[in-house]
Amino acid sequence: MRQLDRLKHVLHRFNKREVGDVIHNYSAARDHYQKTQCNLQQNPHLAKLQLAERTACLNFSHHSRIYESFLRQRSKITWLRFGDQNSAYFHASLKQRKAANRITSFLDDKGQINDKFEVVVAHFLNHFRSIMGSPSLTSFQIQKYCFIHGDTLSLDHQLSLIKLFTKKDVKSVLFSISSVKSPSLDEFCSGFFKVMWKDLGDEIADAILGFFYHGELPAELNKTTLSLIPKVETSTRAVDFRSIACCNC
């Protein structure tokens, strides 16, 4: 984990030095391409302008691919091929995602909307603190006599459930995740680990398999974030949400 943290700083410097401002570079390449097209239209037989237009086209295509990749990662949604390089679509998706993930107010007991940041935070924290960690009926031990009333697993199936996981299993699960999705909270998407599997695969597999072999989980992997899922279309209070814990592993 510390290695990934150090790598993150290296990648930030690389991005700033080598990639630069993606949006600015895309806009500049597009404007330059449009300018060369206008110049060529005025003098279509001039070889110098033809070459400039082709060069600008290649440059614009290059920055368009980078820009689209940037938008795909930022939007965190499935890639759909709409027109205009999905620019308008993905910008709208980014705005919608940002708005949907933000809770700025709630309806209090008096029916008044309260949008004070500190009060909103306290309202949601107090609600979920009161219910998290409480005993649940689903955690009680299952009565063994219930098994005789249903289907049971064969011996082969039972053995397959308890066999040890392998590095191949870890790789298979990781590579099944969409490349634009983040399997953890460290800002590295699945595509990064897929590309870097040759160099990082052994360490990733050891960290994950260590839990199954020894029953110990590194503290860095045990971080969780609480996500609130609306239970109704217009959620106005804490009780209108259900919580899920997203593990950083």
Question: Do 225 and 185 meet the contact criterion of CB atoms below 8 Å apart?
Answer: yes
Domain membership flag for residue 77: yes
Least confident of 84-88, 113-117, 173-177, 210-214: 84-88
- Kindly report the pTM of this predicted structure: 0.45
97 contacts: CB under 8 Å, gap ≥ 6:
75, 76, 77
Q: What is the largest CA-CA distance in the chain?
A: 89
Above 90 in pLDDT, residue 186? no
Domain membership flag for residue 230: no
Q: Element (H or E) spanning 227, and its range? A: strand 224-230
Rg of the chain in Å (alpha carbons) = 26
Above 60 in pLDDT, residue 248? no
The single-letter code of the amino acid at 201 is: G
pLDDT band at 175 (very low <50, low <70, confident <90, very high): very high
Least confident of 26-40, 89-103, 161-175: 89-103
Number of independent structural domains in the chain: 1
What number is the average pLDDT over the span 66-91?
Answer: 60
Domain membership flag for residue 66: yes
Closest CA to 125 of 238, 246, 249, 16: 238
pLDDT band at 86 (very low <50, low <70, confident <90, very high): low
* pLDDT (0 to 100) of residue 106: 79
Domain membership flag for residue 44: yes
pLDDT band at 83 (very low <50, low <70, confident <90, very high): very low
Domain membership flag for residue 107: no
Domain hosting residue 30, numbered range:
18-100
Above 50 in pLDDT, residue 247? no
8-67, pLDDT tens digit by residue?
A: 667 777 777 767 788 888 899 999 999 999 998 888 888 999 999 999 999 999 888 888
Domain membership flag for residue 50: yes
Domain membership flag for residue 61: yes
Least confident of 86-95, 131-140, 162-171: 86-95
Domain membership flag for residue 46: yes
